[in-house]
């Protein structure tokens, strides 16, 4: 059965009491971090919607997933969108779209340019799809792909660019698009940390064939785990849906495939290879309400980030990413770099903050070429990456949640000022 109005009212009251009780219990417990990297952004509406799916026994990918996909496409102002079980799966499908055996855009072994500072599944996705990854350095001033190194790395084998808009700061899309046009390169975009960010009025994720988004717990909006691909056209949407679910035609336009010469049940026809990276309707239940809250979330993130960055801009030994006048960042976190001539190290300030109850972490994964996995793949050992090395050695970030308060930011600033004052 589905929830009726009376059931919904009763459940709403019960859930509100449970959330209030849970909040009191959590407040009574000693917490390691008073300023964590992330805070829960969901509430009664998301829980009720998820319970409705459970009570109607429609928990797998169903109508709510399709509804969420349509609403996300409207928000993103793209042709269509395809929901998956994670942002990493979104990256995976975009890369397999490029080497899709049914309609390949690239050949196996073609080069794809990827920034060396990124979440590693972006790299693995391209490798698993049969592409040759060629790494590009990152500009520590913006945290994004180094435009000069990008053009320098292009060879006759280069056929695509896999951008990442790190920390919600848009890449310089004027220069990127000019390079892509000059060398006839496909573009796909990782926007997992940049939901809502824009370049010159256009949302990131709309510049190439497709853009990926993550709805992990700590991201701009959450479905717990979950992701989305924004698609440039309907044909890409259909191919991604087939790749999403086993190579199956179940959730695509049946008129695209002539099955008359095949002795198969059309409900169980397979026209390509594929994965099973489908989401659930329970995840989509969260997404329907989180998407409505997203503009408010992002507005609040920007307010808090600007307040903190105003403080950082007046510090001699700390800096934050700079954004182009054409860019409208959608800050994912509060990224910082410690100056190389600072009288303290990154480890010293992060250790201090951790002791004081402020959670810290590296800037994504830093320079991936410095991780143990680099020993496995020769692609990592071709070049040096001075910009990425600075980020790796000097960078860290702090959390940014729409549920952090102005008082939280004030206390965070006071905490950092106390540390910095010791060196003045």
- pLDDT computed for residue 243 by the predictor: 98
Is 219 assigned a catalytic role? yes
What CATH number has the domain bearing residue 356? Answer: 3.90.1150.10
pTM over 0.85: yes
Query: Which residues of the chain are under the pLDDT cut of 70?
Result: 1-2, 21-30
Quick one: 268 and 301 in the same domain?
no
Instruction: Give me the pLDDT at residue 29, please.
Output: 59
Distance CA 94, CA 187 (A): 10
**Residue 204 neighbours by CB under 8 Å, 6+ apart:** 165, 170, 171, 173, 189, 191, 194, 197, 198, 211
Residues 227 and 339 in one domain: no
Whether residue 121 sits in one domain with residue 160: yes
Spatial separation of the C-alpha atoms in residues 75 and 97, rounded to whole Å: 23
Q: Mark whether 279 and 304 lie in a shared domain.
A: no
31 domain-assigned: no
Does residue 154 sit in the same domain as residue 248? yes
Q: What is the predicted pLDDT for the residue at 16?
A: 78
Specify whether 405 is located in the same domain as 305.
Answer: yes
Same-domain pairing of 265 and 312: no
Residues 180 and 86 in one domain: yes
- pLDDT of amino acid 276: 98
Choosing from 186, 219, 220, 289, which is the catalytic residue? 219
pLDDT at position 5 is 79
Regarding whether 123 and 244 lie in a shared domain, the answer is yes
CA distance 292 to 295: 7
Judgement on whether residues 280 and 310 belong to the same structural domain of the protein: no
Please report, for residues 15, 179, 233, 274, 280, the alpha-carbon distance to residue 238 in angstroms, rounded to integers and kept in the order given: 39, 29, 9, 13, 19
Owning domain of residue 221: 54-286
Do the domain assignments include residue 6? Answer: no
Do 187 and 169 have their domain in common?
Answer: yes
Would residue 42 count as lying in a domain?
Answer: no
């Amino acid at each position: 059965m589905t929830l009726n109005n009376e059931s919904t009212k009763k459940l709403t009251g019960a859930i509100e009491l449970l959330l209030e009780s849970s909040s009191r219990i959590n407040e009574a417990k000693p917490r390691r971090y008073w300023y964590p990297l992330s805070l829960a952004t969901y509430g009664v509406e998301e829980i009720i919607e998820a319970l409705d799916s459970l009570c109607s026994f429609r928990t797998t990918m169903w109508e709510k997933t399709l509804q969420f996909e349509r609403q996300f496409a409207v928000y993103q102002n793209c042709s269509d969108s395809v929901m998956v079980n994670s942002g990493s799966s979104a990256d995976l499908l975009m890369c397999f779209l490029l080497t899709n055996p049914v309609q390949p855009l690239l050949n196996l072994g073609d080069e794809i340019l990827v920034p060396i500072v990124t979440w590693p599944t972006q790299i693995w996705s391209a490798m698993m799809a049969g592409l040759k990854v060629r790494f590009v350095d990152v500009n520590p001033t913006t945290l994004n792909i180094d435009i000069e190194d990008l053009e320098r790395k292009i060879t006759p084998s280069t056929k695509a660019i896999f951008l990442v808009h790190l920390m919600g700061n848009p890449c310089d899309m004027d220069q990127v698009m000019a390079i892509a046009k000059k060398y006839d390169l496909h573009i796909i975009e990782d926007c997992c940390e940049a939901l809502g960010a824009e370049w010159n009025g256009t949302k990131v994720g709309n510049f190439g064939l497709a853009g990926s988004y993550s709805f992990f717990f700590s991201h701009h909006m959450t479905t717990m785990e979950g992701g989305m691909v924004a698609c440039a056209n309907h044909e890409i949407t259909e191919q991604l849906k087939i790749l999403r679910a086993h190579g199956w035609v179940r959730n695509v336009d049946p008129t695209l495939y002539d099955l008359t010469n095949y002795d198969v049940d059309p409900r169980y026809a397979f026209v390509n290879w594929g994965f099973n990276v489908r989401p659930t309707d329970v995840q989509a239940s969260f997404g329907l309400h989180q998407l409505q809250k997203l503009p408010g979330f992002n507005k609040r993130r920007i307010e808090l980030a600007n307040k903190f960055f105003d403080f950082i801009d007046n510090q001699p030994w700390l800096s934050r990413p700079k954004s182009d006048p054409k860019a409208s960042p959608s800050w994912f976190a509060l990224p910082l770099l410690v100056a190389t001539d600072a009288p303290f190290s990154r480890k010293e300030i992060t250790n201090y903050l951790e002791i004081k109850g402020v959670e810290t972490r590296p800037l994504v994964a830093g320079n991936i070429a410095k991780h143990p996995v680099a020993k496995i793949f020769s692609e990592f050992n071709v070049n040096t990456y001075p910009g990425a090395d600075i980020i790796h050695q000097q960078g860290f970030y702090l959390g940014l949640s729409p549920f952090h308060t102005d008082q939280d930011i004030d206390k965070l600033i006071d905490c950092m000022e106390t540390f910095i004052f010791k060196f003045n």
